[in-house]
Amino acid sequence: MLQPALSAEQTWSKCLSVIKENVADQTYGTWFEHTKGDHIEDRTLTVRIPNNFAYDWLDGHYRDLVHEAVMQVLGDNYRVIYSIIPPPADEPPKLDAKPAPPRPANDPLSALNPHYLFQNFVEGGSNQFAKAASQAVGEAPGKTSFNPLLVYGGVGLGKTHLIQAIGNYSLERAIVRRVLYVSSERFTNDFISAIQNNKTTEFSSNYRNVDVLMVDDVQFFTTKERTQEEFFHTFNTLYQKGKQIILTSDRPPKEITGIEERLLSRFQWGLVVDIQRPDLETRIAILQKKAEENGIQLPGEVVQLIAHHVTNNIRELEGCLIRLLAFASVHKLDISVALAKHVLKDIFVHKHHNLTVEEIQQEVCAYYKVPNDMMRAKTRKKEVVLARQIAMYLTKKLTKHSLKTIGLHFGGRDHTTVIHALESIENLVIADTQIKSDLEVLKSKLDVSAV
Ligand code: ADP
Ligand code: MG
């Protein structure tokens, strides 16, 4: 069999150049930079990678790309396999020289919630990358390029759960000894009381002698100058010692105002990942998981109903389930769609309030194939007038806006025009079955059909 002229290392380097052109720099740096061609044998190229987790990620997400690159470099008869070889031991030691027993994961000093684990963090498109990165950090805190790791995203999307899972994971496996989790408020309050009690030295040593420091919701550092100053030094000390820093925020660091530039820039030194709102499949999976944890069998339609209506917050999703379970058990009722609709009525009403006039206008325009700006235009063309009146009607029904406000959203029309529109549509609904069914479809598109 013909062996290629290049060594495995050179071959893989060539593949890497191809890969590099096809992925974002960040992706390349994260997943490919630390890989190395090891040997070629039997039409198989073996590539060294640093850990199991890199394997999952490369194999799960970049298999086609890698295949493509190898094909370009070697022809299509070669395959790639990965060999996991941890980074060499000449890197800084993880633990201090002083021997001390590792702490159990639920150590009160770490302030970690023992239930926040990777195992019960349901993965979906919205959080996959954040979870993967967190697992990598959990396996080797302070030793990956993800330092600091900053996870950002809206309220109730799992930031706290995820970062605490890192702490629990690395404590459980004794990868590190000292993990400290604090909210940024707690950090601030501790600092203030340290100043008042003349204990700033103690404060500093407390926060600077850990292997992993997690600060949750850093956006609350806004405007607290002395706290920011203190945190800046804490950050630098830990970073220089190769300790892991993990942060969360409710928005991307670029959008945080009131935090000093030098601190903001440090927040972005490592890896910044976001968690987005979960998609429907993930919401369903989360509900099923939580039901399972509670030892409850939830009918599929109930899962669907809740997952369809609670769309932007996992805490709320959980809250609905708990309310439903509590109600059913107190009243000794079976969990059914009817019961769910009864117990959770407010989530359906709530949905109306969240709809914006723009959303309604967009949906109506798309449905009647009318350009969006026609909602505000003066045109009296028949189909435009109908679409506009339907949108006004739905806005009145599905939002809490006054007639006057509605008029303003429709090109500054007078409230009497809005009244006229409502009356016309109400008459049409009775007389014209087509309009009636149009409205049904539109309502279901706006996801309020269950009401
Ligand atoms: P955040 O810190 O982003 O506001 P939390 O981490 O407090 O959100 O999450 C809110 C709740 O939702 C927690 O009870 C958490 O366990 C749960 N949760 C969030 N994301 C997930 C997930 N992907 N899988 C399972 N539970 C989750
Ligand atoms: Mg949180």
Q: What is the pLDDT of residues 91-121, one digit of tens each?
A: 443 333 344 445 554 555 678 999 999 999 9
Residues lining ligand 1, Cβ inside 6 A: 120-122, 127, 153, 155-161, 286, 314-315, 318
In angstroms, rounded to a whole number, what is the distance separating the alpha carbons of residues 304 and 121? 20
Mean pLDDT of the chain, nearest integer: 88
Give me ligand 2 centre to Cα 160, in Å.
4
- pLDDT over 50 at 153, yes or no: yes
Q: Taking the domains of the chain in order of start, what are their residue ranges? A: 8-104, 118-274, 280-353, 357-445
Q: What b/e string do you get for 155-172 counting C-beta neighbours within 10 Å, with b at 16 or more?
A: ebbbbbbbbbbbbbbbbb
- pLDDT over 70 at 3, yes or no: no
Residue from 119, 152, 161 whose mutation best tests the ligand 1 pocket (most atoms within 8 A of CB): 161
- Per-residue model confidence as pLDDT tens digits over 342-372: 999 887 765 545 788 998 999 999 999 999 9
Superfamily designation of domain 118-274: P-loop containing nucleotide triphosphate hydrolases (3.40.50.300)
Smallest CA-to-CA distance from 286 within 316, 262, 265, 242 is with: 316
Helix axes of 415-431 and 382-398: crossing angle, nearest 10 degrees? 100
> What distances in angstroms separate CA 386 from CA 142, 191, 408, 449, one per listed residue?
62, 62, 18, 22
Name the architecture of domain 280-353. Orthogonal Bundle (1.10)
Superfamily designation of domain 357-445: DnaA protein, C-terminal DNA-binding domain (1.10.1750.10)
Smallest CA-to-CA distance from 104 within 161, 172, 169 is with: 172
Smallest CA-to-CA distance from 135 within 30, 253, 216 is with: 30
Which atom from ligand 1 is nearest to the alpha carbon of 216? 2
Q: Which amino acid, residue 412?
A: G
Q: Is 118-274's fold the same as 280-353's?
A: no
Class assignment of domain 8-104? alpha beta
% of the chain surpassing 70 pLDDT:
91
- Per-residue model confidence as pLDDT tens digits over 78-94: 888 888 776 664 444 33
> Tell me, what's the pLDDT at 88?
62
Is the pTM higher than 0.95? The answer reads no
